[in-house]
Amino acid sequence: MPFFNADSPPLRHFCLNVCRAESLDDVYNVNGSFKWKNGTVLPDACMPDFWAMFHLSSPNAQAVRNRYRIVKEQYKASGGGKTLSIACGSAQPLLHGLHDLLNAGKGQNSAIILTDSSMDSLHLAKKRAQQAGLSDRVSFVQANLCELTKKLNNEKFDVIEACGILDYLNKDAALKLMRNAFSSLNTNGSVILSNMMKTGSADLLSRICNWNIVYRSPEEFENLILEAGGKNVRIYSEPWKIHAVAVVKT
């Protein structure tokens, strides 16, 4: 904690919630770089101070915001439609993407089902949906991955997004999740996934934040997707080479 300055409420909030949607929301919005609907989006819990701005502008934090941009743009490129988000967190990249689609007169048939095991995450996502003016297009389901399997087996989607959850899943769990996602797509649908790559700061993050991640290189990530039955895989690595985003088409 001294490394992050114990007098900084935003950094205390970040460290306390490092594996949760609240910390991701801190990183997304600490510098006010994302502006949509009603103006600049800022963290929900604590207004940024100098130390938060300093530390949450590190390469790791920049990489998170880069992943946000890639996911948003790939969702826009998909055209939207019936969308499922797995372990949605604040869901801000998808909400931002749908906001942009509708502003451009596209994606008029789009609706998003946001799922997460945490009610805190869903409450945060609901606030972001309201800010985006999308409350009528978004529904919320509290479900863990086991419960979600039933939903995946019973419905078909145009887009399924699971960005962040694979960072915490071992190989068998990741394969199961992806296989269910691929089998739940409509014709010409797409799955948007992400996984972190191991960098020199990985051990530091583990020591400071007790943050345990399942790292995969882009090659390992792509091979895992192919083993799960994915086809037409495109991998996008953000500039810091910390996050890889995969788009898998049917």
- Rounded average pLDDT over 116-131: 96
Q: How many domains does the chain have?
A: 1
Q: Tell me, yes or no, whether 210 lies in a domain.
A: yes
Tokens of 130: 């309201």
Instruction: Render pLDDT for 44-87 as a digit per residue (tens, 0 to 9).
Output: 888 999 999 998 998 989 999 999 999 999 999 999 999 999 99
pLDDT at 3: 58
Q: Tell me, yes or no, whether 40 lies in a domain.
A: no
Contact 91, 24 (CB under 8 A): no
Instruction: Render pLDDT for 176-222 as a digit per residue (tens, 0 to 9).
Output: 999 999 999 999 999 999 999 988 666 666 565 566 789 999 999 99
pTM for this prediction: 0.94
pLDDT at 4: 63
CATH assignment of the domain containing 138: 3.40.50.150
pLDDT at 205: 62
Q: Tell me, yes or no, whether 31 lies in a domain.
A: no
Q: Tell me, yes or no, whether 232 lies in a domain.
A: yes
The confidence band for 138, taking pLDDT boundaries of 50, 70 and 90, is very high
Contact 86, 207 (CB under 8 A): no
Place of tokens 């694979």: 166
pLDDT at 204: 60
Q: Three-state SS across 12-44? A: HHHHHCCCCHHHHHHHHHCCCCCECCCCECCCC
Q: Tell me, yes or no, whether 183 lies in a domain.
A: yes
- CB-hemisphere CA count at 13 Å for 157? 27
Instruction: Render pLDDT for 42-52 as a digit per residue (tens, 0 to 9).
Output: 998 889 999 99
pLDDT at 37: 85
DSSP string of 90-134, one letter each residue: T-HHHHHHHHHHHHTT--TT-EEEEEES-HHHHHHHHHHHHHTT-
Residue 140 has pLDDT above 80, yes or no: yes
Q: Tell me, yes or no, whether 107 lies in a domain.
A: yes
Q: Tell me, yes or no, whether 44 lies in a domain.
A: no
- Rounded average pLDDT over 80-100: 97
User: Which structural domain, as residue segments, surrounds residue 213?
Assistant: 59-249
pLDDT at 1: 46
Q: Tell me, yes or no, whether 33 lies in a domain.
A: no
